[in-house]
Amino acid sequence: MADKKRRVIGRALRKVDATAKVTGATKFADDLAFPRMLYCKLLRSTQPHARIVSIDPSAARAFPGVQAVLTGRDLPIPFGILPVSQDEHALCVDKVRFIGDPVAAVAATTEEAATAACDLVRVEYEPLKSFASAEESVENPEPRIHDYGDSGNLHKLIDLEFGDAEAGIAEGDIVREDLFFFEGNTHLPMEQHAAVAVWSPDGKLTLWTSTQTPHYVHRALAKVLEMPAARIRVIATPNGGGFGGKSDPFSHEIAVAKLAMITGRPVKITLTREEVFYCHRGRHPTLMSVRTGVKKDGAITGMHFRSLLDGGAYGSYGVASTYYTGALQTVTYHIPRYHFQGARAFTNKAPCGPKRGHGTPQPRFALEVHIDKIAEQLGIDPAELRLKTLVPPNSLTANYLRVGSMGLGQCIAKVVEGSGWKKKFRTLPLGRGVGLACSSYISGAGLPIYWNNMPHSGVQLKCDRGGGVTVFCGSTEIGQGSDSILAYIVAEVLGVDPFDIAVVTADTDLTPVDLGSYSSRVTLMSGNAALQAAERAREILALHAAKQLNVPITQITFAEGRVFDANDQKRGMTFAEAVQWAEAAEGTVGTVGSYTPPMSAGTYRGAGVGPSPAYSYSACVVEVDVDPETGIVRVPTIWIAHDVGRAINSAAVIGQVEGSIYMGLGEALMEEMAYRGNRNVVHKIPSLLEYKSPTTLEMCDVITYLIEDPDPNGPFGAKEVGQGPLLPVMPAVANAVYDAVGVRIDEVPITPEKVLKAMRAKGKGEAGRVGPTSFPEIPWPEPTRVPTPWEGGDGKALRSVHA
Amino acid sequence: MSNESKVKIALAVNGESTEVAFAPHKTLLEVLREDLGLTGTKHGCELGECGTCTVLLDATPVLSCLVLGLACAGRNVRTVEAMATGGKLHPLQETFADLGAAQCGYCTPAFLLTAEALLAANPTPTRDEIKNALAGNLCRCTGYIKIYEAVELAAARMRGEKAEASRESLYGR
């Protein structure tokens, strides 16, 4: 919805980088080349779990063209994205933990020579027992994949209880328990990760890299290379897609930096597509159990949710991912008492981490299918049931998440009406069906990865006497439009054309820190920082313009490149003249802005994951066409409504919605990280051909409704859109398949094999269901008990009886 | 290898005759990016799976990662760099930019060239014909919809019609 008072916000403008993108002028990391540049290749482990007995790089070093070879001992300091999981080495030191773990790095004058030399590095392994699933790791505490973690091969164990959940569940007229499994899948950005390092003899290092988080790469380089951060410059090149897969500091970034330091020459690496699968950090395969007490009218009385995550070989964001599998269940439907238990296992597979929706698509799938089953059991329309149980706006949840604006009711109403839900649900002929699901997502995390009191996002703004404005911000353009958001917000406040604004981003030498493009945080956080910097600049300019025009400062207006008297638009000056008057009076016109999220309401251990300045909401209806002969599921249309608070650029918002639907459709129907558990845990399909993702032929039509319920914490009321709309797709597809052919596929992806298997079972009079049937015994810790807000709780945990 | 002797071929790149010397095993993708400095052509797999490296060879879309440079002697290669002329964007580039059909922009050059070849052969493609023509190009950002709309809008304008983007595609419903 375009706001008439606003000239930029809400309009479907071209993105500021669109011209460079469509002309091929955008420089991605692999497009960079420097004189005398060397090429780096990594040797990766061929074993899923093994001790490294010896590494002999001598033959590789002697190979023509090779300038340097590194092994683990050259980079002995561990790193990792989270302070609690510093468990990675740039190159493995004593052992390897998955097929694809980097073992050695070669720099040579050509890529061919580097590749050939990698083959000459002799590595002797002593194989260890390997684990291909979370269940295997639960059963086998030894041998340990890592020498840290909460128990055996369990990396993290969480037990949080908000009120007496068992008593709450017992109050239900019905109690329902369901088990679900969500298979792992990967981001699959079209751009393979690439990085170029340049070392200068004055002791300065520059790294260009396709990362979503230059600030954290900066930290990791300083730590591992033992260099002052001030001597390291990290520049995030525009990412050719990220989706969370470029949010960790990576081995290849550290390796090229070290090789540049040793050789004194620029060093570049571009991963092969196969290596991108080994970098992974994608969706955790997750087994879930949900047990809920519900009154006859649909009111939830209590819920117990358990999740077991297959983390792969390293920590990555996994501790946060595990908390996220329990955090956001409470922000859609009112859950008065809630018990969450989450466990993350290490396995000998590529490390899992944050993929679009980070830890929340799996439990959202479970919750939304579970609710669909509850609605059927109670004989209530699933849309009606959800509408009855919505969390009210401006409220606290059982786990102390502060919900602000909440447009889910409007979202449900829109898609129910638009899709013709009431006429279609349970009435379409065999093979056709509709399913509904909802979701919510954070607009940035309330707490930073490294806990401190500094802002999460900073902006510097410079006004030029020629009328140009430059915005400097650490935020990283990954295709989502973050550079444009900065320009639009500053343009709105200063009344200038967004295309007159230069945007300088993601350069640790030039730009104030922004934590990175993850958690859907950038529009809200860097947007608020830009808003503050622009408002401060407007104050300075208005002061001096008012003096020159001899009108009260409150009457000064900024629009269309002019600064003028609101009561007499002819009395005014150009924006450039206003800058000149201010510059003459005060010197260079520059301001700063920053943003720190509000304090979390909860203070219990674990309260750091889930709080956000604002939550987005989505509802979708999926229509499916299931072939009862083949089990093939086709999706002709998805109706989606998304509560974005306020669309800064509606076309960009719709682009994020459609992209999310697309990615969710892939997760629902086909995408999976498949390994051969019985053949050394080798990745089955590390290629774009074999890892199935939707092409134009599988993609559905999408009908998008934007719900704008401005949130007081967002810039101009804006909330997130990049991740939330993905979440309801998978459960809505599952619910639609049930409506179409009467079978429950309680796991994704929903492949034709699973649909046929369930239909055949149903035909034989068995349960028409495919999905997990048990949840393993986990050594859960003593729960952290937190009284709910409505029981007089204050967000603190009760003292443990053992303390 | 670095000391491997190079071969030299003559070809036309973006309408200009040129000669280029390169190691004989190099693909057209590598010759364009590394020897001719035309980095607008991208790569996603270098195995012919994703369509990201598509260029036009004698006006036909090809996967430049699967074509040997040597096979291009005497032929015409067109890359994204030639689409804008005289400082003005091609109609497809205009609509891709205006509708947000380019998000990260990495697959965009390939989509643009594939669409250009489609419109040269069929100025009035249906939505299904567009989907079929673009089925070999993967995009992970857009969900393809804005790409279809951009191709349709550009096609209309290239036919001389006065066409604008629909309100729904820019503002939703």
What would the 3-class secondary structure string for A97-144 be? CCCCCEEEEEEECCHHHHHHHHCCCEEEEEECCCCCCHHHHHHCCCCC
Q: Does residue A647 form part of some domain?
A: yes
pLDDT digits (tens, 9 = 90+) for A306-336: 999 999 999 999 999 999 999 999 999 999 9
Model confidence at B43: pLDDT above 60 = yes
Model confidence at A572: pLDDT above 70 = yes
Cβ distance A191 to B104 less than 8 Å, yes or no, reads yes
Q: Does residue A790 form part of some domain?
A: no
pLDDT of A13 reads: 96
Cis amide leading into A127 (omega within 30): no
Task: Please tell me the distance in Å from A724's CA to the nearest CA on chain B.
Answer: 15
Cβ distance A650 to B171 less than 8 Å, yes or no, reads yes
Q: Does residue A16 form part of some domain?
A: no
Alpha-carbon torsion (A383, A389, A395, A398), positive or negative: negative
pLDDT digits (tens, 9 = 90+) for A470-497: 999 999 999 999 999 999 999 999 999 9
Residues A530 and A519 in one domain: yes
Residues A496 and A443 in one domain: no
Question: For testing the chain A interface, which of B145, B146, B166 should be mutated: the one with the most A CBs within 10 Å?
Answer: B145
Of B2 and A129, the structure prediction assigns the larger pLDDT to: A129
CATH code at B7-82: 3.10.20.30
Q: What is the DSSP letter of A230?
A: G
What number of other Cβ atoms are within 10 A of residue A616's Cβ?
33
- Is B140's Cβ below 8 Å from some Cβ in A? yes
Task: Please tell me the distance in Å from A114's CA to the nearest CA on chain B.
Answer: 10
- Is A36's Cβ below 8 Å from some Cβ in B? no
CB A506 within 8 A of CB A214: yes
pLDDT of A678 reads: 77
Q: Does residue A342 form part of some domain?
A: yes
DSSP characters for A292-338? EEE-TTS-EEEEEEEEEEE-TTS-TTHHHHHHHHHHGGGGTB--SSE
Q: Please list, in sequence order, all residues whose beta carbon lies within 8 angstroms of the beta carbon of residue A384, skipping any fewer than 6 positions away.
A: A298, A375
- Is B93's Cβ below 8 Å from some Cβ in A? yes
Q: Does residue A401 form part of some domain?
A: yes
Q: Please list, in sequence order, all residues whose beta carbon lies within 8 angstroms of the beta carbon of residue A714, skipping any fewer than 6 positions away.
A: A443, A523, A524, A527, A528, A613, A614, A645, A646
pLDDT of B96 reads: 98
Task: Please tell me the distance in Å from A656's CA to the nearest CA on chain B.
Answer: 7
**Full domain range(s) for residue A575:** 454-595
pLDDT digits (tens, 9 = 90+) for A11-65: 999 999 999 999 999 999 999 999 999 999 999 999 999 999 999 999 999 999 9
Residues A408 and A502 in one domain: no
Number of domains in chain A: 3
pLDDT of A800 reads: 64
Nearest to B143 among A192, A478, A699 (CB): A699
Nearest to B143 among A15, A26, A662 (CB): A662
State the count of interchain CB pairs (< 8 A) between A and B.
201
Model confidence at B1: pLDDT above 60 = no
Which residues from chain B sit within 8 angstroms of residue A708, using beta carbons?
A: none
- Is B143's Cβ below 8 Å from some Cβ in A? yes
What number of other Cβ atoms are within 10 A of residue A754's Cβ?
21
The bridge status of strand A701-707 relative to strand A682-683 is unpaired
Residues A323 and A429 in one domain: yes
- Is B47's Cβ below 8 Å from some Cβ in A? yes
Model confidence at B3: pLDDT above 90 = no
Cβ distance A688 to B107 less than 8 Å, yes or no, reads no
The string over A53-62, giving b where at least 16 C-beta atoms fall within 10 Å of a residue's C-beta and e elsewhere, is eebebeebee
pLDDT of A796 reads: 96
Q: What is the mean pLDDT of residues A558-581?
A: 97
Least confident of A376-380, A448-452, A476-480, A502-506: A448-452
CATH code at B91-167: 1.10.150.120
Residues A480 and A432 in one domain: no
pLDDT of A677 reads: 80
Nearest to B97 among A19, A113, A706 (CB): A19
Among residues A595, A612, A637, the one where a domain terminates is A595
pLDDT of A6 reads: 86
Cβ distance A241 to B106 less than 8 Å, yes or no, reads yes
- Is A54's Cβ below 8 Å from some Cβ in B? no
Phi and psi, residue B155, nearest 5°: -60, -45
pLDDT digits (tens, 9 = 90+) for A395-451: 999 999 999 999 999 999 999 999 999 999 999 999 999 999 999 999 999 999 998
Residues A639 and A722 in one domain: yes
Cβ distance B106 to A191 less than 8 Å, yes or no, reads yes
- Is A244's Cβ below 8 Å from some Cβ in B? no
Q: What is the CATH number of the domain that holds A74?
A: 3.90.1170.50
Average pLDDT over chain A reads 97
Residues A270 and A287 in one domain: no
Model confidence at A586: pLDDT above 70 = yes
Residues A51 and A78 in one domain: yes
- Is A634's Cβ below 8 Å from some Cβ in B? no
Which tokens belong to A647?
């669309």
Cβ distance A661 to B143 less than 8 Å, yes or no, reads yes
Model confidence at A1: pLDDT above 50 = no
Which residues from chain A sit within 8 angstroms of residue B165, using beta carbons?
A: 12
Cβ distance B49 to A689 less than 8 Å, yes or no, reads yes
Q: What is the CATH number of the domain that holds A465?
A: 3.30.365.10
pLDDT tier, A591 (very low <50, low <70, confident <90, very high otherwise):
very high
Burial (0-12, 13-18, 19+ Cβ within 10 Å), A46 = middle
- Is B146's Cβ below 8 Å from some Cβ in A? yes
Residues 112-131 of B with CB under 8 A from A: 112, 130-131
- Is A636's Cβ below 8 Å from some Cβ in B? no
Q: Does residue A20 form part of some domain?
A: no
Residues A217 and A365 in one domain: no
Cβ distance A19 to B89 less than 8 Å, yes or no, reads yes
Q: What is the mean pLDDT of residues A723-752?
A: 98
Q: What is the mean pLDDT of residues A262-269?
A: 98
**Ranges of each domain in chain B:** 7-82, 91-167
Cβ distance B112 to A2 less than 8 Å, yes or no, reads no
Model confidence at A573: pLDDT above 70 = yes
Task: Please tell me the distance in Å from A402's CA to the nearest CA on chain B.
Answer: 29
Which residues from chain A sit within 8 angstroms of residue B80, using beta carbons?
A: 22-24
pLDDT of A14 reads: 97
Task: Please tell me the distance in Å from A483's CA to the nearest CA on chain B.
Answer: 12
Residue A118 amino acid letter = C
Percent pLDDT > 70 in chain A is 99
In A, minimum Cα distance to B168 occurs at A704
Cβ distance B140 to A192 less than 8 Å, yes or no, reads no
Residues A333 and A412 in one domain: yes
pLDDT digits (tens, 9 = 90+) for A611-668: 999 999 999 999 999 999 999 999 999 999 999 999 999 999 999 999 999 999 999 9
Model confidence at A2: pLDDT above 50 = no
Task: Please tell me the distance in Å from A419's CA to the nearest CA on chain B.
Answer: 13
Q: Kindly list the distances between the CA atom of residue A617 and the CA atoms of A133, A328, A391, A445, A449, in Å, as whole numbers in the listed order.
A: 33, 11, 11, 16, 24
Reported ipTM: 0.98
Model confidence at A134: pLDDT above 60 = yes
Task: Please tell me the distance in Å from B104's CA to the nearest CA on chain A.
Answer: 3
pLDDT of A679 reads: 80
- Is B24's Cβ below 8 Å from some Cβ in A? no
Reported pTM = 0.97
pLDDT of A799 reads: 81
Which residues from chain A sit within 8 angstroms of residue B64, using beta carbons?
A: none
Cβ distance B79 to A25 less than 8 Å, yes or no, reads no
Residues A571 and A644 in one domain: no
What are A770's strand-pairing partners? A745
Task: Please tell me the distance in Å from A633's CA to the nearest CA on chain B.
Answer: 18
Task: Please tell me the distance in Å from B10's CA to the nearest CA on chain A.
Answer: 24
Residues A423 and A556 in one domain: no
Among residues A249, A279, A309, the one where a domain terminates is A279
